């Protein structure tokens, strides 16, 4: 294990247990607005209720009913009146990766909790319940039923590549943060087209696609457009990226994520991997540019002060902990 970590620039002495990584709970932001909740305030109100957890620049915004934190679990009694919402784009889509609603069409039979020809419907958290012919979100109430902006009922699988390097000065020396006295990491960030938020590059796992293939594909689509490279240089860079994404990386998280698209019947699950170039040998040298799926891409300092889409901040904090970097 030590040789593996050293190969990817992780400081020896860092204590990592990959089985424990997944057990660290992801902090769930307010399901009503997506903002961080203030534990000193009442859990029965949402000061940011004017904002929405569901809606994009192309779709109408839906305000979720406020759910007190102690009423999120299905096991608690609650006078619950969720809003039914499936976006028009999803509802009228003819693409094969978009489910038809079995509640509206009795002829629709979906193999819940199984891997079928269209997608892997298994959850990382085990078997989920089927209530009213559709899956029930294993993490509790969200305020909205239906699919929202998601194509599948049940888990919608994604992959998030976290590409990092050490921030260095003009002499190539690692830059130490003056407050924490720890070296500063930089990660490849994108600006999302749908919400305009800062995020980790990533996307949905295509049918019959391996997660490692998704990680590589999404990184290329969202951060690389090769404006300054000739064909040979482009080929060599893609070959290097392919080798690293297939043979390296550390799994940071695998499971349910707090996402603004989650509903009572559809939710996001992701696998996040960290690809770290600690010696500036390959990935650190990439001059990233916004690709087809992002407004822009760039190297950004990793810090707890950075506001990011969904649960991406929690993933980055885990990366900082692994590398003993500033946060």
In tens, the pLDDT along 81-101 reads: 998 999 888 988 888 778 999
Lowest mean pLDDT: which of 80-84, 191-195, 198-202, 220-224?
Answer: 220-224
Asked, for residue 302, whether it belongs to a domain, the answer is: yes
Q: Is the pLDDT of residue 19 over 60?
A: no
The boundaries of the domain holding residue 172 are: 1-25+157-323
C-alpha 82/C-alpha 67 separation (Å) is 10
Lowest mean pLDDT: which of 49-63, 99-113, 271-285?
Answer: 49-63
Q: Is the pLDDT of residue 275 over 90?
A: yes
* Rg, the chain, Cα only: 21
Q: What pLDDT is attached to residue 296?
A: 87
Q: What pLDDT is attached to residue 225?
A: 64
Asked, for residue 166, whether it belongs to a domain, the answer is: yes
Q: What pLDDT is attached to residue 227?
A: 60
- Residue 55, both tokens: 């809606």
Give 24's pLDDT tier (boundaries 50, 70, 90).
very low
Q: Is the pLDDT of residue 120 over 70?
A: yes
C-alpha 172/C-alpha 183 separation (Å) is 13
Q: Is the pLDDT of residue 195 over 50?
A: yes
Give 263's pLDDT tier (boundaries 50, 70, 90).
very high
For the chain, what percentages of helix, strand and coil (3-state, to nearest 5) are there? 20, 20, 60
C-alpha 200/C-alpha 302 separation (Å) is 11
Cα four-point dihedral sign 14, 18, 19, 22:
positive
Strand partners, 269: 157, 256
**Which has the closest alpha carbon to 243: 218, 217, 216?**
216
- Residue 4, both tokens: 């593996």
Give 47's pLDDT tier (boundaries 50, 70, 90).
very low
Long-range own/partner contacts, residues 108-112 (CB < 8 A, 24 or more apart): 110/153, 112/154
Number of domains in the chain: 1
Asked, for residue 161, whether it belongs to a domain, the answer is: yes
Asked, for residue 290, whether it belongs to a domain, the answer is: yes
Q: What pLDDT is attached to residue 291?
A: 64
Asked, for residue 9, whether it belongs to a domain, the answer is: yes
C-alpha 38/C-alpha 21 separation (Å) is 25
Asked, for residue 84, whether it belongs to a domain, the answer is: no
Which has the higher per-residue pLDDT, 250 or 47? 250
C-alpha 33/C-alpha 21 separation (Å) is 27
Assess contact for 198 and 191: CB atoms under 8 A: yes
Asked, for residue 6, whether it belongs to a domain, the answer is: yes
Q: Name the DSSP letter for residue 266.
A: E
Pairing of strands 266-277, 154-166: parallel
C-alpha 187/C-alpha 278 separation (Å) is 12
Q: Is the pLDDT of residue 172 over 90?
A: yes
Mean pLDDT value across the chain: 79
Asked, for residue 189, whether it belongs to a domain, the answer is: yes
CATH number where 231 lies: 3.90.79.10
Does the pTM surpass 0.85? The reply is no
Assess contact for 261 and 148: CB atoms under 8 A: yes
């Amino acid at each position: 294990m030590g040789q593996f970590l050293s190969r990817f620039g992780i400081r020896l002495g860092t204590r990592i247990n990959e089985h424990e990584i997944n057990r660290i709970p992801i902090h769930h932001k307010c399901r009503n607005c997506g903002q961080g909740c203030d534990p000193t305030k009442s859990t029965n109100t949402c000061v940011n209720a004017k904002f929405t957890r569901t809606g994009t620049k192309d779709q109408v915004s839906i305000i979720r009913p406020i759910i007190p934190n102690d009423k999120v679990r299905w096991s608690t009694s609650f006078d619950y009146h969720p809003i039914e919402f499936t976006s028009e784009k999803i509802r009228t889509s003819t693409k094969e990766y978009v489910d038809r609603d079995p509640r509206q069409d009795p002829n629709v039979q979906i193999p819940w909790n199984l891997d079928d020809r269209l997608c892997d419907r298994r959850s990382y958290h085990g078997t989920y319940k089927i209530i009213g012919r559709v899956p029930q979100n294993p993490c509790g109430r969200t305020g909205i039923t239906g699919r929202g902006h998601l194509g599948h009922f049940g888990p919608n699988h994604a992959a998030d590549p976290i590409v990092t390097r050490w921030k260095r000065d003009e002499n190539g020396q690692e830059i130490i943060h003056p407050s924490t006295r720890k070296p500063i990491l930089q990660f490849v960030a994108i600006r999302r087209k749908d919400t305009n938020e800062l995020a980790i590059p990533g996307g949905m796992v295509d049918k019959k696609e391996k997660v490692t293939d998704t990680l590589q594909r999404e990184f290329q689509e969202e951060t690389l457009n090769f404006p300054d490279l000739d064909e040979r240089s482009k080929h060599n860079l893609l070959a290097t990226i392919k080798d690293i994404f297939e043979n390296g990386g550390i799994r940071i998280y695998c499971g349910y994520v707090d996402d603004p698209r989650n509903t009572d019947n559809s939710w996001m699950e992701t696998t996040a991997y960290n690809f770290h170039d600690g010696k500036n040998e390959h990935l650190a040298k990439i001059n990233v540019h916004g690709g087809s799926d992002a407004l822009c891409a760039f190297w950004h300092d990793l810090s707890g002060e950075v506001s990011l889409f969904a649960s991406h901040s929690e993933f980055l904090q885990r990366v900082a902990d692994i590398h003993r970097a500033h946060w």
